[in-house]
Amino acid sequence: MGMVGALSFDTSCFARAVLPRWTMYFAVAAAMAGCASMTPEQCRHADWRQIGYADGAQGLSGARIDDHAKACAEVGIRPNLDEYLRGRSQGLFSYCQPENGFVIGRRGESENAADCPASMRFAFLDQYRHGQEIHLIESDLEQRRSRLNRNNRRLRGCDERIAAVRTELTKNDLPTERRVALSNELNKLVDEKNFIVNENGNLRLESDRLQSHLYFRLREMGR
């Protein structure tokens, strides 16, 4: 997997607060490197402790060092494993913070709690599950809001077509066959509009319920 997928740094407020500025710079440069985890230039000037920290702070697997070793082997450079692991341990300390667990869960991302220190794992997972719960509520809410937006576009289309049909039906010289076809279409359009209006009413009720539920769950979680 390329660097973009494996080392894509989050630029949220939390990430900016937790990760040192040089880590963010490394992530941006690495993300532009293409398929290899590191460019030849990055390999030649690598600070393996910083690279280990960057990987750990993103919760990447310890096997990530193998990707770096493969990329740097092309220019005859071997990673400093001791420095990398020392930095990675420090990065994992940032990654495994409970607040980060909540952020990751709320984004709907998978966790790597298995690499967290045992003393931090429970609190991290606890907040991660809270974040997952909020993610599910927010996803449900977003789905209903998206459905409402789609329905509103359909309603506008129905209204425009209903107006056009009614205008055409006012013509005195309209052939009988055409008048019958337009009348049938008008009935179907009115039925469709009524169905959408009723559905929108239910969607608004559900959205309001989910919004209230989201608010109270966040309050209960102290957020």
102 domain-assigned: no
If asked whether residues 43 and 88 sit together in one domain, one would say: yes
Residues above pLDDT 90, as percent of the chain: 82
Structure-block tokens of residue 77: 């450079």
Domain total in the chain = 2
**Mean pLDDT lowest for which of 17-26, 46-55, 72-81, 127-136?**
17-26
Predicted pLDDT at 222: 94
* Dist. CA 104–CA 82, nearest whole Å: 28
Amino acid at 114: A
If asked whether residues 136 and 216 sit together in one domain, one would say: yes
195 domain-assigned: yes
Confidence band, pLDDT 50/70/90 cuts, at residue 8: very low
Closest C-alpha to 55, from 26, 29, 21, 79: 26
100 domain-assigned: no
How far CA 155 is from CA of 145, 149, 150, 167, 169, in Å, comes to 15, 10, 9, 18, 21
pLDDT score of 32 more than 50:
no
Predicted pLDDT at 199: 98
SS (H, E, C) 161-211: HHHHHHHHHCCCCCCHHHHHHHHHHHHHHHHHHHHHHHHHHHHHHHHHHHH
If asked whether residues 84 and 137 sit together in one domain, one would say: no
User: Angle, nearest 10°, between helix axes 64-73 and 48-57?
Assistant: 140
Q: Count Cβ atoms within 10 A of the Cβ of residue 124 and give its class: 0-12 exposed, 13-18 middle, 19 or more buried.
A: buried
Predicted pLDDT at 36: 83
Structure-block tokens of residue 97: 């913070």
If asked whether residues 210 and 138 sit together in one domain, one would say: yes
141 domain-assigned: yes
- Spell 34-48 as b/e; 16+ CB within 10 A means b: eebbbbeebbeebbb
25 domain-assigned: yes
61 domain-assigned: yes
If asked whether residues 76 and 13 sit together in one domain, one would say: yes
If asked whether residues 154 and 214 sit together in one domain, one would say: yes
Global pTM reads: 0.74
Confidence band, pLDDT 50/70/90 cuts, at residue 182: very high
Q: Domain residues for 175?
A: 132-220
122 domain-assigned: no
Q: pLDDT tens-digit profile of 35-78?
A: 689 999 999 999 999 999 999 999 999 999 999 999 999 999 99
Contact criterion met (CB below 8 Å) for 55 and 91? yes
